[in-house]
Amino acid sequence: MSGSWMTTRAWLLMLPLLVVMISVIGWPLVDTVRLSFTDAKLVGTQGNFVGFDNYAKMLSGSNFQRTLITTTWFAVISVAAEMVLGVLAALLLNQQFRGRALLRALMILPWALPTVVNATLWRLIYNPEYGALNAALTQIGLLEAYRSWLGEPNTALTALIVADCWKNFPLVALIALAALQAVPRDITAASLVDGAGPINRFRFVILPYLAGPLMVALVLRTIEAFKVFDIIWVMTRGGPANSTRTLSILVYQEAFSFQRAGSGASLALIVTLLVTVLAVAYAALVRKVAGSTA
Q: What angle do CA 20, 22, 25 make, to 5 degrees?
A: 95
How far is it, in rounded angstroms, from Cα 232 to Cα 70? 12
CA-to-CA distance for 265 and 29, rounded, in angstroms?
10
Round to whole Å and give the CA distance between 94 and 75.
Answer: 28
pLDDT value at residue 44 = 67
CA distance 195 to 225: 40
pLDDT at 112 > cutoff 70: yes
pLDDT at res. 160: 96
pLDDT in tens, 130-174: 999 999 999 998 888 899 999 999 999 999 999 999 999 999 999
Cα Rg for the chain, rounded, in angstroms? 24
pLDDT classification of 237: cutoffs 50, 70, 90:
very high
The yes-or-no verdict on residue 118 having pLDDT over 90 is yes
Q: What is the average pLDDT across 28-53?
A: 85
Distances (CA, A) of 245 to 20, 90, 133, 197, 267: 34, 32, 23, 45, 14
CATH of domain 53-293: 1.10.3720.10
Question: Tens digits of per-residue pLDDT, 71-80?
Answer: 999 999 999 9
pLDDT band at 90 (very low <50, low <70, confident <90, very high): very high
Nearest to 179 by CA among 96, 90, 83: 90
Q: Are 225 and 75 in contact (CB under 8 A)?
A: yes
Give the whole-angstrom CA distance, residue 210 versus residue 177: 9
> What residue ranges do the domains of the chain occupy?
53-293
Q: What does the alpha-carbon distance between residue 89 and residue 107 come to, in Å, rounded to a whole number? A: 9
φ, ψ at 285 (rounded to 5°): -65, -40
Residue scoring higher pLDDT (231 or 216)? 231
User: How open is the CA angle 9-14-18, to the nearest 5 degrees?
Assistant: 140
Query: What is the model's pLDDT at position 22?
Result: 83
Q: What percent of the chain has pLDDT over 90?
A: 47
DSSP 100-152: HHHHHHHHHHHHHS-HHHHHHHHHHHT-TTT-HHHHHHHHTTS-SS---TTTS
Whether residue 5 has pLDDT greater than 80: no
Q: What is the pLDDT of residue 202?
A: 81
pLDDT at residue 70 greater than cutoff 70? yes
Q: What is the pLDDT of residue 294?
A: 54
Task: Please give the pLDDT value at position 9.
Answer: 83
Q: What is the mean pLDDT of the chain?
A: 88
- The one-letter amino acid code at 108 reads I
Residues 252-294: pLDDT tens digits?
999 888 888 899 999 999 998 988 888 888 778 777 766 665 5
